[in-house]
Amino acid sequence: MGKELKHIAIIMDGNGRWAKKRALPRNMGHRKGAEQIWKIVKHANSKQIEYLTVYAFSTENWQRPKEEVDYLMNLPIEFFNRYEKEFASENVCVKIIGNREPLSQVLIDKIHEIETKTASNQGIQLNIAFNYGAKEEIITALKKIVTNNQPITVEQVEENLYTKGIPPVDLLIRTSGEYRISNFLLWQIAYSELYFTDVYWPDFDEKELDKALVEYAKRERRFGGLS
C-alpha cells in the first residue's frame, strides 16, 4: 500500500440489530461480535497494520439494561480466556484503554494479566476501548497537566491520553450504518479518514476490511496543506 496506514480504529456497532434480525437475544450479537474481533485482528496483523483500536464499551453504555451490561462486563474475560493462546502464536500485544475504576476486581485482574502476558509481543497492538469516553479521557489529561503545573500543549495532552505513544488514527471505520462518533477517540481522529458501512459488526469480516482498505488507498490526505 502506498499511503501510510499504521493505525485503524473501529466503532463496532450493530450487534443488537444483527441479533434482532435473526430473532436472537441481543447478547448473542455481542457474542458473535467478540468472535469477529479476532478475525479482524488476525487479518490486520497479516497486513502489517501496527495498531488496531476497537470500541467495545462506552462510558454511556452503562445506561443499557442490567442484563446486557452484565453480559458485556463478562465478555472480555471470556474473550481473553478464549484467545490467549492465539495472542501468543500471532504475537499480538493487548492493551485496554478506558476508566477501569468502576469495573469489577475480577475484570481488572484479568485485564492486568492479559496486558502483562502480551506486553512483549511484537506483532499488532490491539487496543480495546472499554468503559472508554473521549471527553473523560481529555478532561483527565488536562487535570493531570494542571496538577503537575505543566504547560498545556498538544504534546503534553498527547502524553496524558490513554493512547500515549500510539500514532494518530489513520482510518476510522464505523459499522451498522450510523454516521456518528459516539464519544470515541475525539482527539486522535482529528485527521483520520472516515469509512462508514451498513454492514453490522458481527458480519464485518476480512473481505469487509479489505473493502475499507481499498477505499482508504483512494483517499488523498492533505492535513490542511495542498496536494
Summarize as ranges the residues that interact with ligand IPE (CB under 6 A).
11-17, 55-58, 61, 72, 176, 178, 180, 182
To the query of whether residue 13 is one of the catalytic residues in this protein, the response is: yes
To the query of whether residue 61 is one of the catalytic residues in this protein, the response is: yes
Residue type, 159: E
Question: Is 137 a binder of Mg ion (CB under 5 A)?
Answer: no
The item of Mg ion, ligand IPE, none sharing an interface with residue 72, based on CB under 5 to 8 Å by kind, is ligand IPE
d(CA 133, CA 6): 22
The item of Mg ion, ligand IPE, none sharing an interface with residue 71, based on CB under 5 to 8 Å by kind, is none
To the nearest 10 degrees (0 to 180), the angle between helices 26-46 and 206-218 is 60
**Site track for Mg ion across 8-37, x = CB under 5 A:** -----x------------------------
Kindly name the residue from 13, 27, 45, 170 that is annotated as catalytic.
13
| 191 close to 26: Cβ distance less than 8 angstroms | no
* Residue that the C-alpha cell 489529561 belongs to: 141
- Let me know if 131 is exposed, middle or buried by CB neighbors in 10 A (0-12, 13-18, 19+): buried
Measured from the CB atom, is 150 or 183 closer to ligand IPE?
Answer: 183
What are the catalytic residues?
A: 13, 61
